[in-house]
Amino acid sequence: MRSCSLTWSIAAYVLLLCTWHTCAQTAPSEDRSQNPYTLKVSVDEVVLTFHVLDSHGLPVNDLKGNEVRLLDNGSLPRRIVSFDSVVNRPIRAAILIDTSGSMQQALPVSKRIAQRFAERIFRQGSDQAIAIDFAYAANTASQWTGDPSSLSQTIQNVHLGAMSSLRGTAIFSAIFRACAYDLKNADPSATGNFILLFSDGEDNAGLTSLESALRACQHSNTVIYAFRVRSSVSPDSTGPKTLADLAANTGGRVFQADETPDAIWNDLKMIESAMRNQYRLIYTPANLKHDGAFHAIELQMPDRVDRVEVRSGYFASR
């Protein structure tokens, strides 16, 4: 079997509810906005979702439960409760756009990509999104919307240095706030929840650490997809590594914002496919304690699977 890196994308999470039910283990479940799928699990069960690709970058849609080997903190689970696929889920996206001074040349590119997402990927009636611009501070007045036109207009209205006259970028603070407040109550069993981040990755003003931002994302089961932009920061900037760490530890990816329009479109479609269509595995860990500790997860796949989008793990409940 193929062993899959812990830095790939997964939405693994513990739902703090007292009962559980699932759909059939083999039949795909399709989420509808009129009747969103709701999953309830025992407090001692973990719900794990992931997306798999073959060597051509195409989704593997016929994976069976007996082809997947799971390790939780290095141990096999006590019990596999169910394994199924979920298709065509609604998505819930927080679009974070860096408007600090270093983004002066890159901001128009960021806005074009974000608007393309709003106009071509976002589905009225089922999806929800919020557009938040940030620099030294983040725009806390932004509102969630299900209207693509409204979302596109909000993105269009974003402009350089709108949030504060103070210089600097607090990217970790913006991500922490998005995960801890804006995405806190998003149900990961019903929607694919992620941040679409446009930035050079330079954090030089916030009081929040990278670790705190990541912990907030892991608690809210939020994936980060970042479009890295070329900015005026120095060549030895830590920005590229910051974006890579944010994406890898939450199960996302980093893309280049200066790619061709066709490449950008393929990137957006990849994000959509990964968030809407996933496998879901529910299991009971062998050694789960209610101590809030982080559990590392490893998935091992058959050779026909070339890539698994899976994040590094989850936090146990208290």
pLDDT digits (tens, 9 = 90+) for 46-76: 888 888 999 988 889 899 999 999 999 999 9
Calpha distance 31→51 (Å, rounded): 16
Give the per-residue pLDDT at 144: 95
Query: Is 13 strand, coil or helix?
Result: strand
Residue 181: DSSP 8-state: I
Give the per-residue pLDDT at 165: 66
pTM value?
0.81
Query: Is 112 strand, coil or helix?
Result: helix
Give the per-residue pLDDT at 7: 37
Give the per-residue pLDDT at 244: 95
* Fold match flag (2-88+277-315 vs 91-274): no
**From 3.30.1330.10, 3.90.1150.10, 3.40.50.410, 2.40.37.10, which CATH number describes the 91-274 domain?**
3.40.50.410
Calpha distance 314→251 (Å, rounded): 11
Return all residues near 135 (Cβ < 8 A) that are at least 6 apart. 98, 99, 100, 101, 161, 162, 163, 164, 168, 169, 170, 205
One-letter amino acid for residue 1 of the chain: M
Give the per-residue pLDDT at 267: 97
Give the per-residue pLDDT at 314: 81
Give the per-residue pLDDT at 29: 53
Q: For the chain (length 318 residues), average pLDDT per consecutive 10?
A: 46 37 42 39 75 89 94 95 91 95 91 97 96 90 93 94 75 95 82 94 90 89 92 78 93 93 96 92 90 90 92 80
Domain extent listing, the chain: 2-88+277-315, 91-274
The pair of three-digit structure tokens given for residue 46, joined into one six-digit string: 């973990």
CATH topology assigned to domain 2-88+277-315:
Immunoglobulin-like (2.60.40)
Give the per-residue pLDDT at 23: 36
Give the per-residue pLDDT at 2: 57
